[in-house]
């Protein structure tokens, strides 16, 4: 994203690059190197840390004393913003402000979204590092879709019937996509090279 931000700056395109990474990545060198040069060159980049409290299978507090990733921004002279990553509207507002700042030529922002993942890090993750009760509590009380849905209903933007209709439509779309994938033939070896490069560069 830092390279894309540099390209946008050099071209004067007004574009903003957005980079997403987890809390575990914030302990690695490339994170610090990119944020540093992004700040020095005032690149139009928004660095978004999805801090779910676990670096793969390890609790964040077990590997770093700095559990608020947004505070790391101070070392590089850029703003750091922490937001409830389970609140769609809060994330939207923080992202909008960071993007506007980047477009004004004021450089990057580090946005930390305190969030949670309901499933394992990968398909084979046994999730022995957290309890089923913890997962259930987050799913019941902090599901961002449920929270946004409740907000829209409470503010009169959407009725319960509309909410149910949307959920049904989404469920049907997902089922259709799954059926399409399962009934599609396996790709041939020559498809490995499709859409790898963009040749329309001028």
Do 26 and 41 form a contact (C-beta atoms < 8 A)?
A: no
129 among known catalytic residues:
yes
| Structure token pair of residue 178 | 């799954």
121 among known catalytic residues:
yes
Pick the catalytic residue from 54, 104, 121, 193. 121
Q: How far is the C-alpha of 196 from the C-alpha of 187, rounded, in Å?
A: 15
Pick the catalytic residue from 28, 54, 123, 129. 129
92 among known catalytic residues:
no
Residue with tokens 């980079």: 19
Q: b/e map of 166-181 (b: 16 or more CB within 10 Å)?
A: eeeeeeeeeeeeeeee
Q: Is the dihedral of CA 77, 58, 51, 103 positive or negative?
A: positive
Pick the catalytic residue from 32, 117, 130, 153. 117
Catalytic residues: 117, 121, 129
């Amino acid at each position: 994203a830092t390279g894309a931000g540099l390209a946008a700056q050099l071209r004067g395109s007004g574009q903003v690059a957005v980079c997403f990474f987890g809390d575990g990545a914030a302990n690695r060198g490339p994170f610090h190197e990119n944020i540093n040069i992004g700040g020095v060159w005032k690149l139009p980049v928004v660095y978004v840390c999805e801090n779910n409290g676990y670096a793969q299978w390890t609790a964040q507090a077990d590997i770093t004393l700095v559990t608020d990733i947004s505070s790391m921004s101070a070392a590089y002279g850029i703003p750091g913003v922490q937001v409830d990553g389970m609140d769609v509207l809060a994330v939207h507002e923080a992202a909008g402000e960071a993007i506007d700042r980047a477009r004004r030529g004021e450089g990057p922002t580090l946005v930390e979204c305190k969030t949670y993942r309901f499933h394992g890090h990968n398909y084979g993750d046994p999730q022995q590092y957290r309890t089923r009760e913890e997962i259930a509590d987050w799913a019941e009380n902090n599901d961002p879709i449920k929270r946004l849905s409740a907000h829209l209903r409470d503010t009169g933007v959407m009725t319960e019937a509309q909410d149910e209709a949307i959920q049904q439509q989404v469920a049907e779309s997902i089922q259709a996509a799954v059926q399409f994938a399962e009934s599609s033939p396996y790709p041939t070896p020559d498809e490995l090279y499709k859409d790898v490069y963009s040749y329309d560069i001028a």
